[in-house]
Each structure stands twice: as structure tokens, then as C-alpha cells.
Structure 1
């Protein structure tokens, strides 16, 4: 991708520098409007945007096979994974798994989108697909939070290219 700005580092250097910022790990789910089947993927690009109105964002690669689906869906759910859910994060991050929802507890919410059980999550955000902004090789997805819930479970953290199991919290009991 061409850019009018100059950089003095390699893509590898940039990736390693970004990896020094710890992020949470989330699974974003929606319903495929053509098949009616649930879809989901693992992301680490989640962030809050606004309290009023309640907005959050996540980013999706433009090369994602699910790009059109998430661009065109009216609703999606963002599940912030609990720190014991590395296997679930991996299950939703690989194309090698034919049915990412197999063997897990989930249901459809009022908007008709897949909602994972809270036993996997430290928080869940049920969102309307509010805005989209192309940026580089990603699409920034802004969701209007219609409902949210949280547990006392510690979140799963991604840091320096791997899952990090070291976070502690005064809230975990």
C-alpha cells in the first residue's frame, strides 16, 4: 500500500513495537445473512470510543474472508475472553476449524446474533453496526453498544506476540 509518508523501520520492527502494548483478546460474532449460520473470529484490536453515546471499536483486515459479512451485518457481539480461554481464542482464529461454534455454549440474542456463554468471558458487548472507516489494510468497525454485561473473571491478554497469563486484579476473587 503506497503512502505519502516516509518510514525508517521495517514491518517486522513495527509489529514488534506494537506487540509491546498489551491488549485484550475478543471474539466477534455475527450471523451470516445468506446462510443463517453463526460466524466468529478472534481479534485483539478492541477499544472503547465513547461513553455517551456508548461506542466501541474493533478492526478487521481488508483481506479477511469475513469482510463483506461484517460490513453488511446490522449487529454483532464482542466477547472479551476470560484468561482461561486460550483454546477458544485459537478455535476462532484459524480457518482450519470448519465449525468454530462446535462444542461451545451459545445462543442467539434478540438481534439474532450469536452470544457466547458468559462462562467464557469477562465482558460482552452487544452492538449495532454503527460506522465503518477504512484505514490502511484494515476496516475500523464502530459499534453502538445496545447491551453489555461483565463478570469478575480476569481477561485474556495478548502481549509480545503471545498470550500472557500474568495479569492480576483486585477485582478477581
Structure 2
């Protein structure tokens, strides 16, 4: 085998190993980390070629501020946790590392998390972000130890009923 082929094969094996380690980490997080449903607000990313994904802003119920403290207006940091299959938020304390909290902005009685997430949809599927009146789009997410939630699947809630997962595949 020539030295050039050997180097090419070594590079291919290295890239394959990196890809497999990332896939393994994501699968491990999905199995071991908490998960829950979170309300979404579809956002058009305003890109000329957007591909087949829906950009989702994540909305969580507003945590109550400590007694005697006014509700902050923006730039607050939240820590997410799963409670009864839904994502809830608590205000991050001064000792909470920035890597374990997310920036949020109040939006009524909800908080909009700073980074939106992309949910990729199949080429033949309809756009799930267009919902009739009375339906809310929800996304089931994995809550990693650091960083924004990772989307798993979409669901719809009609009124106060249960969340029904969408079959997009």
C-alpha cells in the first residue's frame, strides 16, 4: 500500500471515529439525561434557502422571583429541569455556572429561551409549524448537562388535552 493511500485511510478512519463518538454521545444523553415536552413558537429563520427544518423558539413557564424581588425584564438566566414530563425552569443562582444555564426573555407569563432550535423534517412531510386555531405545537427535548435542549420529536396539544406526538416519517 502506498504512503498516500495509507494516509488517506488513516484520515478516513479518524473522521469515522469522530462521527461515531459524537453519535454515541448524543445517544447516551438521550438515554441517561432527563427529557420533557416544551411549548414552542415557530420562527421563520428568514433564509432564502432554508432547507427542510422548522426553527423553534422554546417557551417555559415563568419561575417566580425570590420574595421581595421584582420580576426581571430580560437577560435572566434559567436552569431547566423535567417535571411530570414537561420542562420547567428555575432562576439560576449566582453560584450556577453559565454553561449550565440559558439566557431567557420574559414573554407574558412565559420565558423565551435564548437559542432557538432547529427540528429537521423529511422532504415529503408537510410543515408541522402551520397549526389550526386551538392547537399548540410542542417539542419533546433532551436536557443535556450543558447547552440548549436537543429536540427529539414534535407533538400537538389541543386545548388542555394531552400532547399527541406527530408522525412525520
TM-score by length of 1: 0.29
**Per residue, is there more helix in 1 or in 2?**
2
Q: Give the TM-score taking structure 2 as reference length.
A: 0.29
